[in-house]
Amino acid sequence: MSLLDVKERMDALVKELNQHNYNYYVLAQPTISDFEFDQKLKELTELEKQHPEYQSADSPTLKVGGEITKEFKTVQHRWPMLSLGNTYSEQDLRDFDERIRKAIGNDFEYVCELKFDGLSMSLTYKDGLLDRAVTRGDGTKGDDVTTNIKTIKRIPKKLNAGDYPNEFEIRGEVFMHRAAFERLNSERIQKGEVPYANPRNFAAGTVKLQDSSEVARRPLDCFLYFLYTEKPLFKTHWESLEAVKNWGFHVCEHNRLCKNIDEAIDFIHYWGENRFNLSYDIDGIVLKVNSYAQQHELGFTAKSPRWAISYKYKAEEVETTLESVSYQVGRTGAVTPVANLKPVLLAGTTVKRATLHNANEIQRLDLHLGDTVFVEKGGEIIPKIISVNTLKRKPGAEKVIYPDTCPECGSNLVRKEGEAAHYCPNDEGCPTQIVGKIQHFIGRRAMNIEGLGDETVEALYRKGLIEHISDLYILREKTAELKQMERFGEKSINNMLEGIERSKQMPFEKVLFGLGIRYVGETVARKIATHFKNIDSLISASYEELTSVDEIGGRIAESLIEYFAEPRHIEQIEKLKTSGLQFVTEEKEVSLASDKLSGKTFIISGVFEQFSREELAELIQSNGGKILSSISGKLNYLVAGDNMGPSKLEKAKKLNIPIISDADLLKMIE
Ligand code: AMP
Ligand code: ZN
């Protein structure tokens, strides 16, 4: 390479790596594998070593990686949160071990720990209470996410009695278990929301949410792995981990004290094979020199400690052939491309398909039929095509082109502004959508109709017996036709009809969720059912009224308005009403505890330490007060917690409405 080329290559790498860092840390949506990233970073590091004069000031080798986001208060770290040197090779580990022995001799131990794939968090405790939680950010400054972190059950808000100092910092990794990830992600897909690629992104996205009550609903966990105190309390890292366990912290039970590098490498091999049996993702193993005195002697480079290193497992990756691409139509009409692969063994399972997400992804990969593709199963549950080996592409291979029309019904596909997915707009006539909607309605989490399964729904549709949800409730009149269906005996028919009959008792919120309105998931359905009390006030609600409800944003409001503007949807609802389904929220009988708040009106907003908003609302109502739906001149008090929306606050201030805390409220009814 000429010097000019070298400089150009270095600049290109800096630019590319900074973009990937941004995708990873800020957007939480990486587009390349960790392995590829590390290869590129290594190349850049090498070039910078040979040509230090060309090192650019914003080189990623000079930074830890993350950036700070605007929404949270920025906090300076007391001790910088460094990164760890990392490697994929055993030889590098032995070199690392050599360097240490040269510096401090042969008498030392390693603590080997799993490298959890989540996001690191710094927690400060004062007088045994959690005081502050801060993300790593750029390593010197991070985001104050205390309110969100307080919702994590595994992080003690108050410590057990113990010999801890008045003030100390402890660091660990916040992560999500795979099972929770899969459950919540499939809920997101059901709601038509963009799913997260892996548990780490889900955890990172969750910690950065503005709404702590939503954070509380997503189960996160945390392992602690570094203790920082002003005065040294322990001689070794191992002792400190043992101690913090007793204070109440969650420390991983798989940590191991190793006498030498061979034992550490055995540990690495063991987890290389067994890591898929853990309930959470790890991406490597961290080795730390155990003695604090020796750590001190070894010191730090600008980026990382010299006494620790991480060994990273390669994401399992294989090469196979792309046989075809199929397009699946979901119940909301979203058309998702799926790659059909020549079956291949990967991370312990046979893989035949990989997700392609959307049209952009096909374009990014420049896919051709018969291509040799690299498939990776890292943190992702569904394998993913990482790249194409274009060298092996056969001449004349056919380019994969995302269709213009729906593969099921032939309608022209549409794409909403700002969305990556294409939709089939023909929700009335597209068979897959029709069947999918009815299947959603009868599902366990919606109407939970016993005696009726997905396959029966499909069969009933093909026989022309159902086309709309409301048709389920007139099946009773069609027993003659039902009896003619294959493998459908008298008993099954009766079971089904009874199940359908019983579903008429399902509460309004379930019916609302069952309708399958885009973006109206279970939680949203419950919120609107509680707020509007019946379908008629919901149908006539304006955009402002809808968005004044907690957690109902513009996108959901628009979707509701669009849905109810369709005469055929209203017609369906009328039919369901006539059949006797519940379209009114049952009022709970409240016996008044007192009438101290009688004649007073309230709105509750934000998050509270001791109460949920529902509990506060109940408290107000049981003392004779009323909850209003939006801030107006009629409002007497705004009960404000943490993190409430700034627009609400501003409006209340403008109207001179007293803003009170939950404690003030308690005083009023004492
Ligand atoms: P890297 O981001 O590759 O430089 O690796 C450093 C990161 O590994 C830290 O910032 C932590 O978030 C994470 N990590 C996960 N498990 C551990 C552990 N047991 N000890 C130290 N760091 C860990
Ligand atoms: Zn269609």
Q: What is the CATH number of the domain that holds 48?
A: 1.10.287.610
pLDDT over 80 at 29, yes or no: no
Q: Which of 341-345, 348-352, 495-499, 559-563 has the lowest mean pLDDT?
A: 348-352
When pLDDT is averaged across residues 356-373 and rounded to a whole number, the result is: 93
**456 and 333, same domain (yes or no):** no
Closest alpha carbon to 82 in 273, 303, 287, 237: 303
**102 and 243, same domain (yes or no):** yes
One-letter amino acid at 304 equals S
The dihedral formed by the CA atoms of 639, 643, 645 and 648, expressed in degrees to the nearest 10: 20
pLDDT band at 534 (very low <50, low <70, confident <90, very high): very high
Is the distance from CB of 228 to CB of 253 less than 8 angstroms?
no
pLDDT band at 648 (very low <50, low <70, confident <90, very high): confident
pLDDT over 90 at 126, yes or no: yes
- Residue 392: which domain range? 318-425
Whether 122 lines ligand 1, by a CB cut-off of 6 Å, is no
pLDDT over 50 at 540, yes or no: yes
**180 and 305, same domain (yes or no):** yes
Q: What is the residue with the minimal CA distance to atom 16 of ligand 1? A: 115
For residue 312, which atom of ligand 1 is closest to its CA? Answer: 3
**184 and 270, same domain (yes or no):** yes
Domain final position from 312, 342, 362: 312
Whether 213 lines ligand 1, by a CB cut-off of 6 Å, is no
Distance from C-alpha of 161 to C-alpha of 347, rounded to nearest angstrom: 44
Name the DSSP letter for residue 585: P
Domain final position from 260, 285, 312: 312
Q: Which of 178-187, 429-438, 528-537 has the lowest mean pLDDT?
A: 178-187
The distance from CA 211 to its chain's CA centroid, rounded to whole angstroms, is 14
CATH number for position 526: 1.10.150.20
Give the distance (Å) from ligand 2 centre to CA of residue 424.
5
Give the distance (Å) from ligand 1 centre to CA of residue 84.
7
Whether 116 lines ligand 1, by a CB cut-off of 6 Å, is yes
Interval 52-110: pLDDT, tens? 778 776 777 765 444 444 478 889 999 999 889 999 999 999 999 999 999 999 999 99
**324 and 248, same domain (yes or no):** no
Please report whether residue 72 resides in a domain: no
Backbone angles phi, psi at 430, to 5 degrees: -85, 110
Q: Residue with structure tokens 């059912």?
A: 529
* 428/405: higher pLDDT: 405
**383 and 477, same domain (yes or no):** no
Residue 475 has a pLDDT of 95
Residue 115 has a pLDDT of 97
Give the distance (Å) from ligand 1 centre to CA of residue 347.
23
Please report whether residue 70 resides in a domain: no
Q: What is the residue with the minimal CA distance to atom 7 of ligand 1? A: 83
Is the distance from CB of 46 to CB of 272 less than 8 angstroms?
no
pTM of the model: 0.55
Q: What is the residue with the minimal CA distance to atom 2 of ligand 1? A: 83
Domain final position from 384, 402, 425: 425
Please report whether residue 75 resides in a domain: no
Distance from C-alpha of 456 to C-alpha of 489, rounded to nearest angstrom: 12
Whether 310 lines ligand 1, by a CB cut-off of 6 Å, is yes
Structurally, the chain folds into a number of domains equal to 6
Please report whether residue 73 resides in a domain: no
Give the distance (Å) from ligand 1 centre to CA of residue 286.
7
Distance from C-alpha of 227 to C-alpha of 217, rounded to nearest angstrom: 29
Give the distance (Å) from ligand 1 centre to CA of residue 127.
27
Q: How large a percentage of the chain has pLDDT more than 70? A: 96
144 forms bridges with which residues in the sheet?
134
Is the distance from CB of 286 to CB of 82 less than 8 angstroms?
no
Name the DSSP letter for residue 400: P
Is the distance from CB of 594 to CB of 516 less than 8 angstroms?
no
* 486/435: higher pLDDT: 435
Whether 283 lines ligand 1, by a CB cut-off of 6 Å, is no
Please report whether residue 595 resides in a domain: no
Please report whether residue 205 resides in a domain: yes
> For a pocket test of ligand 1, which of 251, 256, 283, 310 has the largest count of ligand atoms closer than 8 A to its C-beta?
310
CATH number for position 646: 3.40.50.10190
**127 and 270, same domain (yes or no):** yes
> For a pocket test of ligand 1, which of 64, 87, 116, 312 has the largest count of ligand atoms closer than 8 A to its C-beta?
116
Question: Which of 129-138, 195-204, 254-263, 437-446 holds the top average pLDDT?
Answer: 254-263
HEC letters along 420-442 = CCEECCCCCCCHHHHHHHHHHHH
Compute CA distances 154 → 145, 157, 165, 184, 220, whole Å: 16, 9, 21, 19, 8
Q: Is 29 buried (19+), middle (13-18) or exposed (0-12) by CB count in 10 A? A: middle
Which ligand is nearest to the Cα of residue 171, counting in written order?
1
Which ligand is nearest to the Cα of residue 431, counting in written order?
2
Residue 21 has a pLDDT of 76
> For a pocket test of ligand 1, which of 115, 174, 238 has the largest count of ligand atoms closer than 8 A to its C-beta?
115
Distance from C-alpha of 493 to C-alpha of 502, rounded to nearest angstrom: 14
**128 and 261, same domain (yes or no):** yes
Catalogue the active-site residues.
115
Residue 67 has a pLDDT of 45
The dihedral formed by the CA atoms of 129, 132, 133 and 137, expressed in degrees to the nearest 10: -160
Is the distance from CB of 584 to CB of 534 less than 8 angstroms?
yes
Q: What is the residue with the minimal CA distance to atom 11 of ligand 1? A: 120
Interval 439-477: pLDDT, tens? 999 998 899 999 999 999 999 999 999 999 999 999 999
CATH number for position 408: 2.40.50.140
Compute CA distances 655 → 542, 608, 637, 652, 666, whole Å: 22, 24, 11, 5, 24
**152 and 289, same domain (yes or no):** yes
Strand order in the sheet with 637-640: 626-627, 601-605, 637-640, 659-660
Distance from C-alpha of 519 to C-alpha of 562, rounded to nearest angstrom: 12
Please report whether residue 592 resides in a domain: no
Using only C-alpha atoms, the chain has a radius of gyration, in whole angstroms, of 29
For residue 113, which atom of ligand 1 is closest to its CA? Answer: 19
Mean pLDDT of the chain: 89
Please name the residues in contact with 479: beta carbons below 8 A apart, sequence gap of 6 or more: 493
Please report whether residue 71 resides in a domain: no
Compute CA distances 611 → 229, 274, 621, whole Å: 33, 42, 15
When pLDDT is averaged across residues 334-347 and rounded to a whole number, the result is: 89
Written as one string, the DSSP assignment of 561-574 is: HHHHH-HHHHHHHH
Whether 225 lines ligand 1, by a CB cut-off of 6 Å, is yes
* 318/610: higher pLDDT: 318
**280 and 333, same domain (yes or no):** no
